[in-house]
Amino acid sequence: MKKIKILSWAVLAISTLSCDKKDTKADGYGNFEATEVTVSAEATGKIVSFALNEGDFIAANKPIGLIDTIQLYYSQQQLEATKNAVFLKSKNVLSQVTILQEQRKTIQTEKTRIQNLLDANAATQQQLDAINGQANVIQEQIKSIQTQNAPILAEANAIGIQIDKIADQIQKSKIINPIDGTVLAKYAEPNEITTFGKPLYKIANTNQMILRVYVSANQLSQIKIGQAVTVKVDVENGLKSYPATVSWISSVAEFTPKIIQTKEERVSLVYGVKVLVQNDGYLKIGMPAEMWRHKSKL
């Protein structure tokens, strides 16, 4: 009985050590990433101002710089003057229409008077026909002048479109930060000449970090999108834990990246997994970390 009892304790100890050893190994290893955005110039010209430095945190939609807009401004003012001149021509044409419309009212009054006289046998049909002829002439003149005004209005509309186009170019000369984030790299300085599409700086949203890890095919069945996991990173006195969520699992296997463990492990086929972690300011891009699943307790 004593030997059996000792043997049972030995088996239990080996089993416990085996479980402890298993529980001390993470389910995945990888490095932190962040959503990076490279902001490029949308205009060509001299950078008048550019107020940022690497490491700065910048809020979304904040103006941080300006590309020279002097020539655009002068072009806009020239077009505005041209548009005003065109509208003045239209105004002159419309004033002629107004005069003719007043004449038409006078003729209409005279026509009514002659019609009344004709009904009283105090006027002739010839007089009525004459006044009708004058009314028709006036009406045709009004139509003719209104026709002349149509291309003038079309010209003014075309100039208005050009003004709007320049206004858009002026707006795009303003360097507006697109997202909340930290500046990772700065590629330009004030007083430099930039061109359309040239990168100005790179920014990343580091409030929420992405841990990309790799798991084997055997582990894949134990991980699903939306699953709560724990991410651990090295700190001075051990490991620091963060709650995290699995956001993406690759559908295609790949060879383990060279940054992962030993040469033997690097030739294994694995699946990439992305884990979202809320950053408290400690996590940095490129920092190594571990992913741990929440193992059920027996």
| Per-residue model confidence (pLDDT) at position 4 | 36
Q: Provide the phi-psi class of 278: left if phi over 0, else alpha when psi is between -120 and 50, else beta.
A: beta
| Per-residue model confidence (pLDDT) at position 42 | 96
- CA–CA dist 38, 50 (Å, integer): 15
| Per-residue model confidence (pLDDT) at position 231 | 97
In 10 A of CB 222, how many CB atoms?
A: 11
Residues contacting residue 242 through CB under 8 Å, at least 6 positions apart: 230, 231, 232, 233, 277, 278, 280, 283
| Per-residue model confidence (pLDDT) at position 258 | 55
Contact between 205 and 35 under an 8 Å Cβ cutoff? The reply is yes
Which domains does the chain show, CATH number per domain? 27-66+186-293 (2.40.30.170), 70-172 (1.20.120)
Listing DSSP states for 129-173 in one string gives HHHHHHHHHHHHHHHHHHHHHHHHHHHHHHHHHHHHHHHHHHHHT
Among 296, 294, 288, residue whose Cα is nearest residue 213: 288
Local confidence pLDDT in tens for the 298 residues of the chain: 333 333 333 333 333 333 444 456 888 889 999 999 999 999 999 999 999 999 999 999 999 999 999 999 999 999 999 999 998 888 887 788 787 888 888 888 888 888 888 788 877 888 888 888 888 888 888 787 778 888 888 899 999 999 999 999 999 999 999 999 999 999 999 999 999 999 999 999 999 999 999 888 888 889 999 999 999 999 988 899 999 999 999 988 887 665 555 545 554 788 999 999 999 989 999 999 999 998 755 4
Query: 């045709």: which residue's tokens?
Result: 140
Among 274, 272, 198, 278, residue whose Cα is nearest residue 242: 278
Contact between 31 and 288 under an 8 Å Cβ cutoff? The reply is yes
Q: Which two tokens stand for residue 189?
A: 């300085």
